[in-house]
Structure 1
């Protein structure tokens, strides 16, 4: 696993998707899902060497996860197959044209059994950057310990850490999330959060500017606040920059935040300046919402200009 640009740590699941209400029955399609694996795929499609580490079950679903990741060029050599636990499962139903609902079946999953020992080798190999989310530490005590250890070990080794808050209310309360994520953010170089997540890594009750300022004082170098259709605000020691979203017709917002993060980290790894990193981030976010699926519509490097350089309705021949 030497030479990895980005190491992502977390749980990958199998997503079964329905185009209508689950209770009405109908066909389900099978997909790979998971915030960290989405980011890994986004980086791999842009030509970076990305690795994902976690656990999958010793079942057919676990093999499906690994086959999908390998097909996308993601390094899975450090993934552990756990024969005693199942691969996590989620059901996604499109309830209306604008509303989708998710049900998880991940309690006791292989992914939730992640341990520090699963991460020692991948971290020792010296990735250029480590990506974590607030989902992993919510899965179990051992996963929480592993995520904390990874952040500390990477920071101690001089490896930049990106933390995407990615709060999941179904996994833990805001109070429990804050107790874990506030100290975790102190090891990060980049913190990514939506406006309603910032107080989980900052002083409770602080407004956006105060929360970002507090994170910068703690050593975070860049605070990215995702604004959805309004783009992104970035806080650094040099000030605040806002970049607008790329206008597209949105058909599926699932995975948009992960795509945004992948775009920003790609720009960071390529040595782009802040504005160009943000531009790549909102471009990947636009690709994500303009197509169906968590990651299926993400671009290759030679496709980055398809959205920004083409008029709506364009057919390229």
Structure 2
């Protein structure tokens, strides 16, 4: 089966309080599926793209739930592997009504943390156009940084375009290791998708324009920088594109917003035959950032990491100011 996008990384079962409150006092927890790469896969699938999701899961009911959910959303799961000796990862999320939610990971020694370069199969990238990787995968285990690097190198050898979202998770590794590994992967991507806080973590205090130029100098062809409530910035060659945010009245849950942004951006990029060409990039980059802003903003309106992702018709209507007919 052909794929517009291949993405590789860990998905987890998410537990969070069924009603508002902290984990230690809530009597009921709801369960769903979360993880940067699967969040992106859900978003892209709803936007009409064919996505191949690859990972390793435990041979347990949690892995069954993840595969059933992805498959139900139209994502190709045929390359996912099951592990009889390691579990599917879990995580818990709680919101106190202010600031970002608290997240607690249980992913050490998980099935996906065991991924290594020896697991890579040439068929993973067959009949595929684009590879998306995140900075979470190299943080998972002893060999996952080399695994991530090798996958990106093989995609480049096949002539695929590659996007990389640093998706910084400081609970998973030391700041020094995270900075070293993430910076080493930027030269292997065409599209770099940092948030402004991640850019500061990687390069220290600079202006937004200096961040963009620095990442381009490292080898990325285009940088799409997430600015949260301020919108986004796009950088390519000597061009800088500033796109205003899509306004929402209240933020409910920020987890998954960056993945939704990436899905929105990549969905528009992949509409083009030669997206990295200057004349094409200059034409569609503002629209790609606008779609990304809408997707990211909508993701903050739901407690789940991806469940509120819109269809292409819905997001196009919102971008055009169209009021949807609901009844």
Query: Smaller-chain TM-score range?
Result: over 0.9
Alignment of 1:202-213 (within 5 A): 203=203, 206-213=206-213
Question: Does the aligned pair in 1 maintain the 2:252–2:300 contact within 8 Å?
Answer: yes
Matched residue count: 314
Which blocks of at least 5 consecutive residues in structure 2 are unaligned? 273-282
- Give the equivalent residue in structure 1 for 2:74: 73
Question: Does the aligned pair in 1 maintain the 2:100–2:254 contact within 8 Å?
Answer: no
Spell out, residue by residue over 1:25-74, the C-alpha distance to the aligned partner (whole angstroms, 9 max, x if none): 31100010000110011111111100111111000000001000000111
Cα distance in 1, alignment partners of residues 95 and 206 from structure 2? 35
- Give the equivalent residue in structure 2 for 1:316: 326
Task: Out of 243-252 and 44-53, give the one that drifted further.
Answer: 243-252
Please give the secondary structure, in 1, of the residue aligned with 2:110.
Answer: coil
- Give the equivalent residue in structure 1 for 2:160: 159
Cα distance in 1, alignment partners of residues 5 and 322 from structure 2? 33
Cα distance in 2, alignment partners of residues 311 and 270 from structure 1? 22
Taking structure 1 as the reference length, what is the TM-score of the superposition?
0.93
Cα distance in 1, alignment partners of residues 140 and 247 from structure 2? 35
- Of the candidates 276, 298, 305, which is equivalent to residue 287 of structure 1? 298
Task: Out of 211-220 and 296-305, give the one that drifted further.
Answer: 211-220
Cα distance in 1, alignment partners of residues 325 and 124 from structure 2? 44
Question: Does the aligned pair in 2 maintain the 1:123–1:150 contact within 8 Å?
Answer: no
Spell out, residue by residue over 1:227-250, the C-alpha distance to the aligned partner (whole angstroms, 9 max, x if none): 001110111114111111111233
Question: Does the aligned pair in 1 maintain the 2:7–2:53 contact within 8 Å?
Answer: yes
Task: Out of 91-100 and 81-90, give the one that drifted further.
Answer: 91-100
Q: CA deviation at 1:291?
A: 2.7
Cα distance in 2, alignment partners of residues 208 and 122 from structure 1? 39
Q: CA deviation at 1:206?
A: 4.8
Taking structure 2 as the reference length, what is the TM-score of the superposition?
0.90
Alignment of 1:298-317 (within 5 A): 298-309=309-320, 316-317=326-327
Tell me whether 1:247 sits opposite 2:247 in the alignment.
Answer: yes
Which blocks of at least 5 consecutive residues in structure 1 are unaligned? none
Spell out, residue by residue over 1:124-177, the C-alpha distance to the aligned partner (whole angstroms, 9 max, x if none): 414211001111000112211110101111122221110101111101122111
